[in-house]
Amino acid sequence: MISPEFEDIRELVDQELGRRLPAADQRPCSLHGAMRYSVFAGGKRLRPALVLLASRICEGDDETALPAACAIELVHTYSLIHDDLPPMDDDDLRRGKPTCHKQYGEAVAILAGDALLTLAFELVAPMPAAARQLAVAAGSLGMIAGQVADMEAEGAIDRCGPEELKKKVEYIHRHKTAALIRAATRMGALAAKAGSAQLAALSRYGECLGLAFQVTDDILDMTGTEKQMGKAVGKDIARGKLVHPLAFGMEESRARAENLIVSAKEALELFLDRAEPLRALADFVLKRNT
């Protein structure tokens, strides 16, 4: 458990997701079943928590921020479903359960991902600034750019020099992971109509937190157990993925994650004590082993 506040938010978000997703017995049942299966597969709800916590410290209300919080979790879930597909990472397990395409078949999994992405934009349609933020962060110059770079970097370790490897891994992390996590804090600030100093501070926090998250994820892929991770470990390395410790060394990767978390917390200074939940969340990202 990260904090009681985080647990409350998780419940709030899960209830709202349950209301916004079509029922599993609504036609087409296979599609709606697959959408719910993946959304309720045990995600930590980190991104929606960031939206709500960012909104709260800018004195926004939950009701306004909640659709944005749900939308970003739907985008995250769609990206996992498509990522796990055979032409991409070809994963059988996600959060300890069969991946969406293993459970529902590839065609339904592709369409369930498409439908979650589309629903996300239905939820944020009434909030133009947040909608634009989400689209840019998730698009071909954001998260998807990172996915492509991640795929194209397979085997890079055998053909690139050390400096090039470092550049590649930083590009991948900034796009694949940090873009969406940064968007989460920004969407929370936008929902709360925060001023530019607050928006900039939360952007910086989100960016550092997102980078730290992926660095620790890469470390855990090399050091964690399958039970801890809910998915096969060591698989990224086995398939030639360019993970952070391969480019920087384990020692430097750990230091990098720690420094990023320090920077993330420093960015929050102007919020004084009100930012404690976001600081606690940053510490959790560094220390988590699940």
Indicate the DSSP class of residue 27: S
| Tokens encoding 61 | 């209300």
Which of 7, 8, 11, 28 is the binder for a second copy (CB under 8 A)? 28
* Interface segment toward a second copy; rule CB under 8 A; list 19-27, 177-185, 204-212, 267-275: 19-27
> Where in 140-179 is the site for a second copy (CB under 8 A)?
140-141, 144-145, 147-149, 151-152
Shortest approach of a second copy to residue 103 CB, angstroms? 14
**Residue among 73 and 268 whose Cβ is closer to a second copy:** 73
**Residue among 193 and 204 whose Cβ is closer to a second copy:** 193
Q: d(Cα 15, Cα 163) in Å, to the nearest integer? A: 46
Shortest approach of a second copy to residue 162 CB, angstroms? 21
> Where in 79-118 is the site for a second copy (CB under 8 A)?
82, 85, 87-88, 105-108, 110-111, 113-115, 117-118
Which of 9, 12, 17, 32 is the binder for a second copy (CB under 8 A)? 32
Give backbone dihedrals phi and psi of 98, rounded to 5 degrees, phi first.
-55, 140
Residues contacting residue 7 through CB under 8 Å, at least 6 positions apart: 1
Indicate the DSSP class of residue 288: -
The CA-atom distances, in angstroms, between 197 and each of 52, 111, 132 are 18, 40, 20
**Residue among 40 and 96 whose Cβ is closer to a second copy:** 40
**Residue among 22 and 230 whose Cβ is closer to a second copy:** 22
Residues contacting residue 159 through CB under 8 Å, at least 6 positions apart: none
Shortest approach of a second copy to residue 188 CB, angstroms? 17
What are the residues binding a second copy (CB under 8 A)?
A: 22, 26-28, 30-32, 35, 78, 82, 85, 87-88, 105-108, 110-111, 113-115, 117-119, 121-122, 125-128, 131-132, 134-136, 138-141, 144-145, 147-149, 151-152
